[in-house]
Amino acid sequence: MSSTLLSTHFQFPEQTDFYKGKVREVYTLANDKIVIVATDRLSAFDVVLPQGIPFKGQILNEIASEMLRATEDLVPNWLEATPDPNVSIGTKCEPFKVEMVVRNYLVGHAAREYFDGKRELCGVEFEEGLKLNQKFSKPIITPTTKADQGDHDQDISREEILQQQIVNREDYEILEDYALKLFNRGTELAESRGLLLVDTKYEFGKTPEGKIVLIDEIHTPDSSRYFYKNGYEERQAKGEKQKQLSKEFVREWLMENGFQGKSGQQIPELTPEVVTSISERYIELFEKITGKTFKKAEVRAIEERIFNNVTKYLKA
């Protein structure tokens, strides 16, 4: 679709490097600054799907920037400015090689592991008799590794992280503290909008000065899962499926069509109807979690728009 941003090839003033992630493209500038462009690419099961989702990049960028500002009193973050709906600019950090995944309900990967018979995940033990979508007594942290290349998102325990010296003890304790503070604030923000923050992930890094800060996006549909608060208890008591806002519906659609990212599996085609429905779900989450009406940015010359907005900001 012409209205989607699938890739960029910019050359910004004082640009020194470029990195293409699954859905974001990172331009490194002099003076330890980075420009992150949120594209409309969609990934699931660590695979980038061939079709883009209209306005997805704008939605992720605007939710993340709003949530970073709503939590900066608790945890310092990398963000400096958002000169374009699809762009954030901030401090270049050295990322920790772990993601802090915080969970408060038995759902998604944790549920798949649990109902596969496992009673421990990342060193956290689960009790018997839990039901799908059941709330835990308190939020738990189930870290994953972030490798430079190859496999990503491998489960790992706190003890293994410290034993392998992936993160030192002092820093890791800060990461745990920050992750739980962010999750608690995210829970409060979600509940004020009639949602339950089910699980999410946080990434951290160190600034050139050695300060630990929150990086990447937070509390977006790509990094988080939400249930609707209204009716949660009733649906749970009846064993009904929870009404949720997250990217899980994309994963479910892919699984229903025979794809889980495994070797030899073919990615099913996302029809125009499916693409439109995914875009509408992303817009729905934006409006629910922010309490604002989503305003679609002009996309007729989206790359030109981004370049002009970023260049104008950098020159200023």
Is residue 118 assigned to a domain? yes
**pTM, rounded to two decimals:** 0.89
pLDDT for position 45: 83
Residue 62 has pLDDT above 60, yes or no: yes
pLDDT for position 129: 96
Mean pLDDT for the chain? 93
Residue of higher predicted confidence among 120 and 153: 120
Q: What is the pLDDT of residues 126-181, one digit of tens each?
A: 999 999 999 999 999 999 998 654 455 799 999 999 999 999 999 999 999 999 99
pLDDT for position 294: 97
Question: Per-residue confidence at 1, pLDDT binned at 50, 70, 90?
Answer: very low
Is residue 15 assigned to a domain? no
Percent of the chain at pLDDT above 70? 97
Is residue 30 within 8 Å of residue 76, measured between CB atoms? no
3-state SS assignment for residue 234: helix
C-alpha R_g of the chain: 19
Give CA–CA dist 8/303, Å, rounded.
7
Cβ atoms within 10 Å, residue 78: 21
Residue with token string 């090839």? 9
Which has the minimum average pLDDT: 97-101, 174-178, 220-224? 220-224
Number of domains making up the chain: 1
Is residue 233 assigned to a domain? yes
pLDDT for position 148: 58
CATH number, domain of 202, equals: 3.30.470.20
Is residue 42 assigned to a domain? no
Is residue 204 assigned to a domain? yes
For residue 18, give Cα distances in angstroms to 50, 52, 208, 315: 22, 21, 19, 20
Structural domain boundaries, residue 172: 95-246
Residue 3 has pLDDT above 90, yes or no: no
Say which residues have a Cβ less than 8 Å from residue 255's Cβ, sequence separation at least 6.
none
For residue 161, give Cα distances in angstroms to 132, 146, 276: 29, 12, 41
For residue 123, give Cα distances in angstroms to 50, 56, 131, 160, 169: 36, 35, 20, 9, 16
Q: Is the dihedral of CA 253, 246, 94, 91 positive or negative?
A: positive
Is residue 28 assigned to a domain? no
pLDDT for position 250: 85
Give CA–CA dist 307/102, Å, rounded.
36
| Over residues 267-273, mean pLDDT | 88
Is residue 23 assigned to a domain? no
pLDDT for position 44: 85
Question: Per-residue confidence at 224, pLDDT binned at 50, 70, 90?
Answer: very high
Residue with token string 């600034």? 207
Token pair, residue 305, equals 């728009």
Is residue 87 assigned to a domain? no
Question: Per-residue confidence at 252, pLDDT binned at 50, 70, 90?
Answer: confident
